[in-house]
């Protein structure tokens, strides 16, 4: 009976220590950064007994970050791209955790971006139809002053062979971008032929095009803010495949 009580006490003590460690890490991060987090897991290294590998998730955006922490949870060390260890076992643990975090972050970012994009109304993008049977749809978020966006527009006919394409005009590169994007949306309407829509896009994305001096950019500003304010989408062109 005494052995059973001691065993149960040891197990309870282990659970308590585990919870305390996670709480210490969580409280330390939140105190230092003001960011709400949760500890997804903590992993004891095989050969280095002074450190633990922890996986921290930021509540606001579900992004996960692998870090090192001292075993008492009093210090946290960021995991950088430069890492050397003589322990093959620890190296494998660290690489596995890093790969898992990267895969999770990519998936959660895609879901979060998709949720933002799906809130857009038809008047906030230019619809181009594919001739393919049962095509999926690409949403392409694009700024008319972005060089990479210009290159992406050159591939539009190839994309239309397999997908519908919705071009979402934004202005993240300044006032000139907002004016050019607003000009596109003012010229394109649902009654236009696809060829005419593409002609307007190609005209405005040309490096020689000059934005009108006065044009209402409020609608473009609203679209831009709705897509970029959370930080999930950080650059252009941003391409999302909708089912």
CA distance 65 to 15: 24
**Ramachandran sector of residue 78 (left: φ over 0; alpha: ψ -120 to 50; beta: rest):** beta
CA distance 235 to 121: 21
Q: Is the pLDDT of residue 16 over 80?
A: no
Return the CATH number of the domain spanning residue range 18-117.
3.10.450.520
- Band the pLDDT of 190: cuts 50, 70, 90: confident
Residues with Cβ within 8 Å of residue 138, at least 6 apart in sequence: 159, 163, 164, 165, 166, 239, 240, 241, 242
* Domains 18-117 and 122-242 agree in fold: no
Over the stretch 91-136, which tens digit does the pLDDT of each residue have? 899 899 899 988 988 888 888 899 999 999 999 999 999 999 999 9
Higher-confidence residue: 146 or 3?
Answer: 146
Q: What is the rounded average pLDDT of the residues 24-46?
A: 92
Higher-confidence residue: 136 or 243?
Answer: 136
Q: Is the pLDDT of residue 229 over 50?
A: yes
Return the CATH number of the domain spanning residue range 122-242.
3.40.30.10
Rg (CA), the chain: 25
CA 125 to chain centre: 21
CA distance 11 to 5: 10
Domain boundaries defined on the chain: 18-117, 122-242
């Amino acid at each position: 009976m005494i052995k059973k009580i001691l065993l149960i006490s040891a197990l309870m003590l282990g659970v308590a220590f585990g919870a305390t460690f996670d709480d210490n890490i969580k409280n330390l991060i939140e105190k230092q950064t003001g960011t709400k987090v949760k500890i997804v897991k903590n992993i004891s290294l095989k050969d280095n007994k002074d450190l633990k590998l922890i996986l921290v998730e930021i509540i606001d955006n579900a992004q996960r970050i692998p870090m090192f922490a001292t075993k008492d949870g009093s210090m946290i060390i960021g995991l950088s791209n430069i890492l050397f260890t003589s322990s093959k076992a620890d190296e494998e643990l660290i690489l596995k955790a890093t790969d898992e975090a990267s895969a999770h972050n990519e998936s959660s970012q895609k879901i979060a971006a998709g949720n933002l994009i799906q809130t857009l109304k038809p008047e906030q993008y230019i619809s181009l139809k594919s001739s393919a049977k049962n095509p999926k749809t690409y949403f392409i978020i694009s700024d008319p002053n972005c060089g990479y966006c210009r290159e992406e527009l050159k591939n539009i006919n190839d994309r239309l062979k397999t997908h519908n394409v919705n071009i979402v005009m934004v202005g993240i590169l300044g006032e000139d971008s907002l004016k050019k994007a607003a000009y596109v949306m003012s010229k394109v309407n649902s009654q236009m032929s696809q060829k005419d829509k593409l002609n307007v896009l190609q005209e405005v994305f040309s490096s020689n095009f000059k934005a009108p001096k006065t044009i209402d950019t409020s609608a473009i500003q609203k679209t831009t803010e709705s897509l970029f304010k959370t930080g999930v989408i950080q650059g252009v062109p941003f391409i999302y495949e909708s089912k």
